Amino acid sequence: MIENSEGQKQTTKRFKYTLLKTFFNFFKNAVGQTFVNPCESSILSKTFRLAKGRQWTILEKDVVDEIIFKTDNPRNRLMLELMARGGMRIGEVLKLRAKDVDDRKLLVASPKSGRQSEIVFIPKKVADRLKDYIHSKGVSSDQRVFPIGYTGAREIVKKAGRLVGIYLRPHDLRRHAATYASRAGAPLEIVSKVILRHANLSTTQLYLGKISDTEAIRWIEHVFS
């Protein structure tokens, strides 16, 4: 199974390895502890070991709201909102063209996933502001809505973070979109397939961050009060 995995993603190979290891462990428990699981060889264990989970600092909603509300420049505010309210990557925001905007649906051409295209859904208020911005700036159908480079865009995000005294990166806003939706009750499938547009749920779970004791208590009170 592992040998016939040429050209497959490492995550797919690791999944197959996990299935085989589980099968052989089941067989080991059935026939006796003298059986040696071939998947536990040092070479295979090293090749397919799981990466250590990285814990992210997740921004609270009130912090993100303050960041956006304190950003006066309409262009900068829209870029922040598309990341924080739509879960878009900064590269997707920068590549967005006027013809990619269809009310509350945004077309992402040639996305990171390798698909031909993807759809991003955004709140109505953000969609209305985006439509007004495109009209006011006279952006033609094939033109980019935000014709700036990555360096400039990252500086916009950093500057927005400094308004509230934090170090802010573009992907922090995308993670916030996923985490806020999840903790607001959105099913994991919606967070994964619609907001983040991930190929599998395990990738999405890495985005959701570690829940603090304070937040855990708050949710317990909310659910069971």
- Break the chain into its structural domains and give their ranges: 10-47, 61-219
Give the SS3 label for residue 48: coil
pTM over 0.75: no
Region of poorest pLDDT, from 81-95, 121-135, 191-205, 210-224: 210-224
Q: What does the pLDDT read at residue 85?
A: 93
CA dihedral 193, 86, 176, 147 (to 10 degrees): 120
The answer to whether 191 touches 181, Cβ cutoff 8 Å, is: yes
Does 128 or 201 have the greater pLDDT score? 128
Does 184 or 137 have the greater pLDDT score? 137
| Percent of the chain as helix, strand, coil, to the nearest 5 | 60, 5, 35
**CATH number attached to the domain at 61-219:** 1.10.443.10
Region of poorest pLDDT, from 34-43, 46-55, 121-130: 46-55
Q: ∠10-16-20 over CA atoms, to 5°?
A: 140
Band (pLDDT 50/70/90 cuts) for residue 38 is confident
Q: Mind listing the pLDDT tens digit for each residue in 78-130? A: 999 999 999 999 999 999 999 999 999 999 887 776 677 888 999 999 999 99
